[in-house]
């Protein structure tokens, strides 16, 4: 029986394992952690967002510059197929009000348990406790060290010492560089680079950012909010706001939603949606200025009229709360960004309420990010997701060079790429076997 090694036990690796197992291939899955699917489980802690129900055109548009490559993968295993597959494991799904798709119980653990049971027991044992042959063999606490000197043998570090193995094909599904404590630490980058495989630097995606403090020193800007703002408002959400950003590349972003003020800056769903543009501009220019609309449902004219209304003996805060329901963290942010003179000039204050600049100076560290950009470029792979420099070695999941916003897009592409990598590994093995028979 032909044998395939899968390195990485996240959704992409597990899906490749299922495809190969169903094709009658002996599958050995290796992972450095004590158990598989750790990032998958944590991602589902607050509700497992599997995929999204929007139409295929809009869904594909979420993958930006990598749309052509990811769209091709999704044609074989898109959102509808993913939901059908989940149902086949006994897990029903539903569409939330935002269009996102979740398991009915919202949890990742039941889905992962059902999936692992199928992988270990592809055919249920009958009247016996003996496990039938044919299931995926899991090798936990096996940290991949690369290849031996022969360029073919795989090396692993285990608690019992180093072990080697050979396989007819290899599927790498090692994840990106975020959430290192769960095993996705990017340690594979130098291993591929040593074999001549180009790898784009791993960068934070769906991440938060540090702001430049309004307080200045003689030498340089300090980073983060003032102590006064941080002590009172860090961790609080800014709701019903809108952000806009025009990148130096000509791309633009504008959307309504909410985000959170952190100890040093901003994060949250609205920020994550624009994070790739913000990150790239900061890398290119050292900063990116985000424009915040504190009252997106109010016209500039209305805001100016309300701000200019005589306030008598009332304080500015009381006046804005009364006229515009503007208080709390929104009011604090105006005090944080604007000078006293600007706050007391109705025209300048009204303009700032609609267009408040937040100067971002750094993305938060990669390990804090929800996901990562960079990785193995599609340009060094063939259409089968096989490395051109290493025949018989396939790549899948977040280790590929693509990114997408949250909303089920990340998981969908990981599942789809794992399925394609598994299918193409089967074709490779069959082609090699056929070629061998022809030669003999």
Q: Which of 410, 408, 409 is nearest to 371 (CA)?
A: 410
Whether residue 193 is found in the same domain as residue 295? no
Confidence of residue 431 (pLDDT cuts 50, 70, 90): very high
Whether residue 330 is found in the same domain as residue 184? no
| Whether the predicted pLDDT of 217 surpasses 50 | no
Residue-wise pLDDT tens digits, 403-426: 999 889 999 999 999 999 999 999
Structure tokens at 122: 């592809």
Whether residue 352 is found in the same domain as residue 232? yes
Domain end: 363, 381, 406, which one? 363
Q: Quick one: pLDDT at residue 215?
A: 56
Whether residue 357 is found in the same domain as residue 374? no
Contacts of 298 (CB under 8 A, 6+ apart): 324, 354
Whether residue 176 is found in the same domain as residue 94? yes
Whether residue 242 is found in the same domain as residue 345? yes
- The pTM (predicted TM-score) of the whole model is 0.91
Whether residue 256 is found in the same domain as residue 215? yes
Q: Kindly report the average pLDDT of the chain as a whole number.
A: 93
Whether residue 331 is found in the same domain as residue 403? no
- pLDDT above 90 covers what percent of the chain? 88
Q: Which of 408, 11, 18 is nearest to 174 (CA)?
A: 11
Whether residue 42 is found in the same domain as residue 161? yes
Q: Which of 423, 403, 399 is nearest to 7 (CA)?
A: 399
Q: Which of 141, 140, 51 is nearest to 98 (CA)?
A: 51
* CATH number assigned to the domain comprising residue 113: 3.50.50.60
Residue-wise pLDDT tens digits, 17-64: 999 999 999 999 999 999 999 999 988 888 999 999 999 999 999 999
Residue-wise pLDDT tens digits, 355-400: 999 999 999 999 999 999 999 999 999 999 999 999 999 999 999 9
| Whether the predicted pLDDT of 326 surpasses 60 | yes
| Whether the predicted pLDDT of 126 surpasses 90 | no
Whole domain around residue 336: which residue ranges? 209-363
DSSP at 76: T
3-class secondary structure, 375: strand
Domain end: 363, 392, 427, which one? 363
Do the strands 3-7 and 26-30 form a parallel or antiparallel pair, or are they unpaired?
parallel
The span from the first CA to the last CA of the chain, in angstroms, equals 19
| Whether the predicted pLDDT of 218 surpasses 50 | no
Residue-wise pLDDT tens digits, 85-113: 999 999 999 999 999 999 999 999 999 99
| Whether the predicted pLDDT of 125 surpasses 80 | no
The stretch 325-329 carries a mean pLDDT of 94
Domain end: 330, 363, 396, which one? 363
- pLDDT above 70 covers what percent of the chain? 95
Whether residue 53 is found in the same domain as residue 179? yes
- Asked whether 422 and 16 are in contact (CB, 8 A), the reply is yes
The stretch 224-233 carries a mean pLDDT of 94
Confidence of residue 258 (pLDDT cuts 50, 70, 90): very high
- Asked whether 4 and 406 are in contact (CB, 8 A), the reply is no
List the Cα angle 119/125/127 in 5-degree steps. Answer: 160
Whether residue 227 is found in the same domain as residue 161? no
Q: How many domains in the chain?
A: 2
* Higher-pLDDT residue of 220, 197: 197
Backbone angles phi, psi at 22, to 5 degrees: -65, -25
| Whether the predicted pLDDT of 440 surpasses 90 | no
* Higher-pLDDT residue of 215, 339: 339
Whether residue 86 is found in the same domain as residue 162? yes
């Amino acid at each position: 029986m032909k044998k395939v090694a899968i390195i990485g036990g996240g959704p992409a690796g597990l899906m490749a394992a299922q495809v190969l197992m169903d094709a009658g291939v002996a599958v050995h899955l290796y992972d450095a952690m004590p158990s598989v699917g750790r990032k998958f489980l944590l991602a589902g802690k607050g509700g497992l967002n599997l995929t999204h129900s929007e139409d295929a055109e809009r869904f594909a548009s979420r993958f930006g510059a990598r749309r052509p490559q990811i769209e091709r993968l999704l044609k074989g295993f898109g959102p509808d197929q993913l939901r059908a597959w989940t149902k086949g494991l006994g897990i029903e799904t539903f569409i939330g009000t935002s269009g996102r798709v979740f398991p009915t119980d919202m949890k990742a653990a039941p889905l992962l348990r059902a999936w692992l049971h199928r992988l270990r027991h592809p055919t249920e044992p009958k009247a016996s406790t003996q496990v039938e042959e044919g299931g995926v063999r899991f090798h936990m606490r096996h940290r991949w060290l690369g290849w031996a000197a022969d360029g073919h043998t795989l090396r692993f570090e285990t608690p019992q010492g180093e072990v080697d193995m050979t396989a007819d094909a290899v599927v790498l599904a090692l994840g990106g560089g975020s959430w290192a404590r769960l095993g996705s630490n990017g340690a594979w980058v130098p291993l591929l680079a040593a074999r001549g495989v180009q790898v784009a630097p791993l960068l934070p995606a769906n991440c938060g950012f540090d702001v430049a403090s309004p307080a200045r020193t003689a030498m340089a800007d300090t980073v983060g909010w003032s102590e006064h703002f941080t002590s009172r408002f860090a961790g609080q959400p800014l709701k019903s706001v809108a952000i806009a950003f025009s990148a130096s590349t000509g791309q633009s972003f504008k959307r309504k939603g909410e985000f959170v003020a952190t100890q040093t800056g901003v994060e949250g769903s609205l920020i994550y949606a624009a994070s790739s543009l913000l990150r790239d501009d900061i890398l290119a220019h050292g900063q990116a200025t985000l424009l915040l609309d504190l009252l997106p449902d109010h016209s500039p004219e209305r805001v100016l009229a309300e701000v200019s209304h005589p306030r008598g003996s009332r304080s500015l805060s009381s006046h804005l709360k009364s006229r515009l329901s503007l208080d709390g963290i929104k009011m604090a942010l105006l005090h944080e960004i604007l000078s006293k003179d600007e706050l007391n000039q109705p025209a300048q204050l009204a303009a700032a309420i609609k267009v408040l600049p937040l100067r971002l100076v750094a993305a938060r560290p990669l390990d804090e990010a929800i996901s990562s950009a960079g990785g193995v470029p599609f340009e060094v792979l063939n259409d089968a997701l096989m490395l051109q420099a290493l025949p018989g070695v396939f790549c899948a999941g977040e280790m590929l060079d693509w990114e997408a916003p949250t909303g089920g897009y990340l998981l969908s592409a990981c599942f789809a790429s794992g399925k394609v990598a598994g299918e193409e590994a089967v074709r490779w093995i069959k082609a090699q076997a056929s070629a061998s028979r022809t030669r003999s």
